[in-house]
């Protein structure tokens, strides 16, 4: 299973601008040193979770990601360590099963509704979906659509009628947030599933309509289709004619 066309990581934009989804297909990705460092920090975190927290040997080595060579400094180790420690603490508190880099597929919502959860804890009465973020822009956990989609996938794959709540957590040690580096929101499963069918599913279907709508806003900032977007092109033409 490769990447979804309707990537949950772009859910905010996909839901705001239906036209962006298919227009983004085939556009070049935007790898950078920062995104490559994030990939490496995830890799170290994953290794640590699978190997009893043993990551110190990475220090001073170099890792490769997306064509970049990333030196492993104290920062990479500290980011991965905080993530590993949080996941292990939650697993010890909740019990149950820990899944690492787990594919989460909410196929009852839509077949393209899937992604990869960094860490998922399936406990007897609840599920935790934990995501490591490594960017410098603080990511909000409130109504975080990417994690709500992962939560729906986790619920569909692992949920039982005993699971009444599901908690989504962002671990982001790389920037300041007033609520700290670890931020969580808990949803009741009934409300989350209602959101999935009543809000998310229609938004996904709108993306695959023959003539999807385009809508501009702050979500345009990281849109891979910006250079070919009909709304942006119109703006440029207007500016050129206006001069
Ligand atoms: S640039 Fe903005 S309006 Fe254009 S496709 Fe992307 S998100 Fe939609």
Question: CA of 183: how far to CAs of 4, 57, 67, 122, 138, in Å?
Answer: 26, 29, 32, 19, 11
- Encode pLDDT of 124-180 as tens digits: 999 999 999 999 999 999 999 999 999 999 999 999 989 999 999 999 999 999 999
Q: What is the mean pLDDT of the chain?
A: 93
Rounded Cα distance, 152 and 160, in Å: 13
| Tokens, residue 51 | 């190997």
Reported as a pLDDT band with limits 50, 70 and 90, residue 215 is: very high
Summarize the confidence of residues 71-86 as an average pLDDT.
Answer: 96
Burial class of residue 138 (count of CB atoms within 10 Å of its CB; 0-12, 13-18, 19+):
middle
184 C-alpha to ligand 1 centroid (Å): 30
Q: What is the pLDDT of residue 61?
A: 97
Rounded Cα distance between 102 and 6, Å, is 18
What would the mean pLDDT of 106-115 be, rounded to a whole number? 94
Cα(226) to centroid of ligand 1, in Å?
A: 6
Question: What pLDDT does residue 236 have?
Answer: 60
Reply yes or no on whether the pLDDT at 113 is more than 80: yes
Q: What is the value of pTM for the model shown?
A: 0.92
Query: Count of CB atoms within 10 A of residue 35's CB?
Result: 16
Q: Is the pLDDT of residue 88 over 90?
A: yes
Q: Whose CA is nearest to atom 2 of ligand 1?
A: 220
Q: In percent, how much of the chain has pLDDT > 90?
A: 88
Q: What is the pLDDT of residue 33?
A: 93
What is the whole-number distance in angstroms between the Cα of residue 52 and the centre of ligand 1? 43
Residue 239 has pLDDT above 70, yes or no: no
* Tokens linked to 188: 């009741």
Mean pLDDT along residues 31-55:
94
Cβ neighbours for 239, distance < 8 A, ≥ 6 positions apart: none
Q: Distance, CA 239 to ligand 1 centroid (Å)?
A: 18
Among protein residues, the one with the nearest Cα to ligand 1's atom 3 is 216
DSSP classification of residue 180: -
pLDDT at 238: 59
Instruction: List the residue whose alpha carbon is closest to atom 1 of ligand 1.
Output: 226
85's tokens? 């420690």
Q: Which atom of ligand 1 is nearest to the CA of 226?
A: 1
Task: State the average pLDDT over residues 43-57.
Answer: 95
Q: How many CA atoms lie within 13 A of 227 on its CB side?
A: 6
Query: 206, 225, 236: which to mutate for ligand 1, most atoms within 8 A of CB?
Result: 225
Residue nearest ligand 1's atom 7 by CA: 220
Asked if the model's pLDDT at residue 67 lies above 60, the reply is: yes
- What domains can be seen in the chain, in order of their start residue? 29-209 (3.90.320)
pLDDT band for position 1 (50/70/90)? low
Ligand 1 shell residues, CB under 6 Å: 13, 17, 19-20, 23, 214-216, 219-220, 223, 225-226, 229, 231-232
Q: Which numbered atom of ligand 1 lies nearest the CA of 219?
A: 7
CA dihedral 85, 88, 92, 98 (to 10 degrees): 160
DSSP per-residue string spanning 18-81: TTHHHHTTTPPP---HHHHHHHHHHHHHHHHHHTTT--GGGTT-EEEETTEEEE--HHHHHHHH
How sure is the predictor about 29, in pLDDT bands with cuts at 50, 70 and 90?
A: confident
User: For residue 197, what pLDDT is reported?
Assistant: 97
Q: How far is the CA of 104 from the centre of ligand 1 (A)?
A: 27
Helix (H, G, I), strand (E, B) or coil at 215: coil
- In DSSP terms, which residues pair with 127 in a beta bridge? 122, 166
Between CA 46 and CA 118 the distance in angstroms is 8
Across the chain, the runs of DSSP E, i.e. the strands, are: 62-65, 68-71, 97-105, 114-122, 126-132, 165-171, 182-188
Average pLDDT over residues 208-216: 96
SS3 185: strand
């Amino acid at each position: 299973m490769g990447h979804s066309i309707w990537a949950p990581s772009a859910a905010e934009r996909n839901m705001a601008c239906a036209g962006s989804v298919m227009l983004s297909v085939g556009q070049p990705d935007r790898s950078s040193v920062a995104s490559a460092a994030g990939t490496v920090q995830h890799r170290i975190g994953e290794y640590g979770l699978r190997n009893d927290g043993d990551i110190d040997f990475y220090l001073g080595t170099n890792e490769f990601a997306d064509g970049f060579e990333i030196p492993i400094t104290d920062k990479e180790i500290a980011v991965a360590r905080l993530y590993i420690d949080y996941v292990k603490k939650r697993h010890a508190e909740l019990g149950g099963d820990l899944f690492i880099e787990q594919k989460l597929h909410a196929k009852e919502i839509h077949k393209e509704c899937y992604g990869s959860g960094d860490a998922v804890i399936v406990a007897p009465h609840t599920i935790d979906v934990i995501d490591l973020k490594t960017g410098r822009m603080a990511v909000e956990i409130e109504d975080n659509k990417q994690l709500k989609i992962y939560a729906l996938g986790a619920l569909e794959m692992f949920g039982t009628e005993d699971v009444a709540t599901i908690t989504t957590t962002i671990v982001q040690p790389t920037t300041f947030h007033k609520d700290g580096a670890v931020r969580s929101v808990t949803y009741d499963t009934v409300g989350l599933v209602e959101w999935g069918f009543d809000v998310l599913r229609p938004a996904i279907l709108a993306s695959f309509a023959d003539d999807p709508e385009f809508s501009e806003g702050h979500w345009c900032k990281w849109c891979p289709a910006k250079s070919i977007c009909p709304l942006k092109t119109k703006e440029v033409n207007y500016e050129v004619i206006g001069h």
